[in-house]
Amino acid sequence: MSDDLFCEIIAGERPAHVVSSDEVAVSFLDVRPVFKGHVLVVPRVHVETLTDLGEVGPFFERVQAMARAVEEGLEAGGTFVAMNNRVSQSVAHLHVHVVPRQKKDGLRGFFWPRTKYDSAEEAESFAARVRAAL
């Protein structure tokens, strides 16, 4: 493990309100929640980004279970599930935000400005570049 904040929580060296912990992931309340009940799901193994995570299936099974638990346990209307990779990643340890939502809770779409493609051709050029990288 690294010496980042989340590794310290995983190791039990830093206090946290742990919601779930197993051999794959540790989930705990975000100390600066968007809404109360906002949970972070982090892989137990130290990786910085999603592309660094070896097997994604087991980790995202935990994310899926947490989204279900947040909805049921908090009687939320739904959840906002998100992650950053490098840019805007406050801790350099992969983490997924599971935020409880209610209709008209004030959270609107994404937290960043949206844009449009100038044409279908421009959109296809971006799709083609990503497709080629696969």
The residues annotated with a catalytic role in the active site are 95
* DSSP state letters, 53-96: -S-HHHHHHHHHHHHHHHHHHTT-SEEEEE--SSTT-SSSS--E
In order of 21, 28, 122, the CA distances from 40 in angstroms are 12, 5, 36
In order of 31, 34, 45, 56, 74, the CA distances from 78 in angstroms are 21, 14, 28, 23, 10
Nearest CA-CA partner of 47 in 57, 34, 59, 32: 59
Phi, psi of 80, deg, nearest 5: -110, 120
